[in-house]
Chains A and B, each alone.
Chain A
Amino acid sequence: MTNVLELRGITKRFPGVLANDHIDISLREGKILALLGENGAGKSTLMNILYGLYKPDEGKIIVRGEEVDIHGPNDAIARGIGMVHQHFMLVPVMTVTENVMLGVEPVKNGLFLDKAKVAARIREISDQYGLEVDPDAYIKDLPVGIQQRVEIIKVLYRSADILILDEPTAVLTPQEVEGLFKIIRSLIEKGKSIIFITHKLKEVLKIADDITVLRLGKVVGSISPQDATPEILASMMVGREVNLVVTKQPAQPKEAVLEVKDLYVRDERQNLTVNGISFDVRKGEVLGIAGVQGNGQTELVYALTGLLPIESGEIHLLGEPVHRNTPRNILERGVAHIPEDRQRHGLILSFPVHDNLVLCTYYKPPFAKGINLQEKVIYENAEALVKQFDVRTPSIFVNVGGLSGGNQQKVIVAREFSRPIQLLIASQPTRGLDVGSIEYIHSQIIQKRDEGTGVLLVSSELDEILALSDRIAVMYKGHIMDILDANKVNKEYLGLLMAGVHPEGAPAPAEGTVPEKVF
């Protein structure tokens, strides 16, 4: 079988970093190559080179046996290479047809856009690959899974036969992932070749024909799925043995630390995104909140931490109402918050590590005497925490923006865990982190639970929810679909709840939109 695409000896240097070091990969025609690697392993750099966004310092790109120079996305598309980005490049207020034709608008009579022609072609593509996309629908009305299909149509419309899918499953429910895999298989049947970039080991084993693992800008090795196990792949990615299973004892829950009653919250655009939910978190347990991103979890956490005012309802912390309190007051009552967007909320990137480690406590002794910052104490605190939480940084004086994502997250964890806390709110605590850091942060969360802290874990990664939670609440369109005992659920059942379908026949919460059929 021939290689439809080969990269040979690709090297790319950035100031101080060797992002790609003589990378060789080959994609067989009609096959799926999974490109596996931690953040910072060089996957994105490599794909940006292939897509013409970066110029390699060394190396060759060979498409169908012919060496080519790719100077930009247009060159890539002309060679039949198309990319589906992790973050969709769609205009929400335009229709599917308009989005697909954007940049390659066909014209009739020399003046008018020929939308009908494009719509017809979209229907054709949609039927051919079983995509089921309505060309006249507006993007903003489509669920994320369908939006992703529109991205795939865009690529196919431009007659690509080599597709690069960048972390395509990150935003999907388990059922949507199944749907995507079906589409990928039908693309392969029709002779397309696919590069599938991911860090999720199980998906790789399920779908890939070949697996190439990158680490620190180098190819660690290639392996076929038959010979691989998640453990083998993880240790290839990380370079050491990794404990993939979170070991924990059964929870010993005590009295409630957080009680939420009938809470309604509006987001910054005044949309009601939390629609009357009630739950409690007890000391010594992890309550996981599962759900596809954007179903009100963000606003729920902002409301609990005082960052967003509530519309109505009650929040009680250790029996006292806190729903009108300031973020600082809530913080001082012993609430730790690992925020969803660590670079926006959790850190000041242009500040050194030592300042970020006292971001919430700088004004209190021993870090301040009156208004005087006690630099010596702040430095000692930083040295101790960096050691204790194994933050890999050249020194505590380095700006936190210069650290890797995993180490940035460790700075946040170190800061939040270093003060006395009653409740830990961890929002997407391992998003974008490498396997090694995930392992570490999971073990820290469980340790806090065992010390008697109540933990509210919000995550769109079902595996993470299942691994850490003692009870699981599923959020859909601002409602809690159900709260379940973590020992008595399975992934499929949760997936249905996440899609707004109650398998026992209870009606889905009415919100004007009909939940997508996912059976």
Chain B
Amino acid sequence: MTEKDSTKTKTKSSEGIGGGTLREALRVPALAVLTGLLIGAIAIVASGSNVFEAYYALFVGSFGDPVRFYNGFQQFFSTGETSGLLRAIYPFTESLVTATPYIFAGLSVALGFRCGLFNIGAEGQFFIGALTSAFVGYSITGLPAFIHLPLAILAGMAGGALWGTIPGYLKARFGAHEVVNTIMMNWIAFRLSDWLLNGPMKASGFRPVTPNIEHTAELPRFFPDPLRLNWGFILALVVAYIVYWFLFKTTLGFEIRSVGANPDAARYAGMNIIRNFVMVMALAGGLAGLAGASQVLGVDHWVGQGFSAGYGFDAIALALLGKSHPAGVVLAALLFGFLRSGATRMQSIAGVPIDIISIIQGLVIVFIAAPDIIRWLYRLKNIKVEETVLTRGWGS
């Protein structure tokens, strides 16, 4: 039995979430977050606010107010009335709502990293995915939900996949570097969406937005308004598990990881590198497209200008933070979700600018990217941190 256990933890290490045990793998990221919050505290003091007040507001904003929880439970047990309890869990559910597109987009970038590809295009793929799924969502009417919803989700995935495949194909066919091409594809996506939202896809009225999607295309919500938590979050967790299975339990994932870790050895072993590049860019685009679809179908129900809102760029940080492992990406996305959603509250209650959260996020990423800083700060003895190959140099 113990032998079996040890096998299990060691297999984990081979998946590259970090070296050694899970505890060791989590130690540096946890300390990075802690250090980020500590340094963030300095920034809060410098901006003239009270640190405790600010962080308490952040906590309340991301998890909920303990007093409201207490009252809500009391109300529920004495009268059976749920409105108080629902109000109490609102901040927590909003954090999960924010985390949902982060999970999809983070998986997109992580999948690319595993194959040695740097997908900077998640932002554009997100936007295109949102548009295609919105289009299917509002333009088709009269379908039952069990057909319309999957169709809209698939449309989002297909849109993102198309946007990812183009740079993948350009790299495979002409050797064009995917960093350059995914950035270009982002700009094309932004301008294309400007045109679509002001023209063919514009709803009646002044604002450059799409019409609302049909109810049959909406991802069902778990609670009555204003709580927006929906099946998109569950879908994100399921997809994260599928990506994990795909990467670590299938021959296709084995190839992807081999190509990412050592393309020369992959070629020697008879793997088709070019085919892997195209496949991974298509799948990564599809995942980012799903992020866009989940946001439209589950949360906003329409698409407007600036809809992608930086999710695709934050996704790069998430993939780094999560060590390009699906489980790590989910944890990182939850962290970002809680920080982002708490920050709004922190701004309104404690008067601390929302940008402080960007500073904290930035610091966390720096510490993750340069773990030696953390090891030096906390005098950690040589924890083995596995080098994850993120991307290769130009012209590879």
Contact = CB atoms under 8 A, between A and B. Distances in A.
Contacts of A355: 14, 254
A397 B3 CA distance: 13
A286 B142 CA distance: 75
Interface string A27-62: 000000000000000000000000000000000000
Contacts of B257: 351
A307 B387 contact: no
Given A15-B382, A350-B387, A331 B270 contact: yes
Interface in A433-466: none
B192 to A, nearest CB: 35
B10 A327 contact: no
Interface in B93-125: none
Interface in A255-271: none
A345 B387 contact: no
Contact of A327 (B16, B255, B268): B268
A283 to B, nearest CB: 23
Contacts of A347: 262, 265
A360 B266 CA distance: 9
Contacts of A346: 265, 268
Interface string B252-278: 101101100110111111111000000
B250 interface: yes
A348 B116 CA distance: 14
B389 interface: yes
B382 A344 contact: no
A97 to B, nearest CB: 33
B268 A373 contact: no
Nearest to A327: B270
Contacts, number: 83
A375 B14 CA distance: 13
B389 A350 contact: yes
A224 interface: no
B10 A395 contact: yes
B267 A351 contact: no
Contacts of B16: 350
B14 A399 contact: yes
Contacts of B255: 363
Nearest to A344: B264
B387 A362 contact: no
A347 to B, nearest CB: 6
Contacts of A332: 270
B126 to A, nearest CB: 28
Contact of B269 (A352, A360, A372, A397): A360
Nearest to A337: B268
Interface in B159-208: none
A348 B265 contact: yes
A373 B249 contact: yes
A298 to B, nearest CB: 13
A373 B257 CA distance: 14
B332 to A, nearest CB: 21
Contact of B261 (A331, A351, A375): A351
Interface string A484-513: 000000000000000000000000000000
**Could you say which interface size class chain B belongs to?**
20 to 34
Given A359-B258, A397-B10, A373 B250 contact: yes
Query: Of residues B16, B262, B387, which shows the largest number of chain A Cβ atoms within 10 Å of its Cβ?
Result: B262
A349 interface: yes
Interface residues of A, number: 34
A371 B252 contact: yes
Contacts of B250: 371-373
A328 interface: yes
Contacts of A328: 270-272
Interface string B364-396: 000000000000000000100011010000000
A281 to B, nearest CB: 20
Interface in A199-232: none
A403 interface: no
B79 interface: no
Contact of A360 (B13, B262, B264, B270): B270
Interface in A366-403: 368, 371-373, 375, 379, 395, 397, 399
A327 B258 contact: no
Interface in A287-310: 305, 307
Contacts of A337: 268
A372 B257 CA distance: 15
Interface in B259-311: 261-262, 264-272
B11 interface: yes
A326 interface: yes
Contacts of A360: 269-270
B78 interface: no
A362 B13 contact: no
Interface in B320-367: none
Query: Of residues B251, B252, B268, B389, which shows the largest number of chain A Cβ atoms within 10 Å of its Cβ?
Result: B268
Contacts of A339: 268
B315 to A, nearest CB: 23
A17 to B, nearest CB: 12
A348 B262 contact: yes
Given A348-B261, A355-B14, A355-B254, A307 B268 contact: yes
Given A329-B270, A339-B268, 13 more contacts: A327-B268, A327-B269, A327-B270, A344-B265, A347-B262, A348-B266, A351-B261, A355-B14, A363-B254, A368-B251, A371-B251, A373-B249, A373-B254
12 contacts: A307-B267, A307-B268, A327-B269, A348-B265, A350-B387, A351-B14, A352-B10, A362-B254, A372-B251, A373-B254, A397-B7, A399-B386
Which 8 residue pairs are nearest across A and B when measured between Cβ atoms? A328-B270, A397-B10, A345-B268, A352-B14, A371-B250, A359-B269, A348-B262, A363-B251
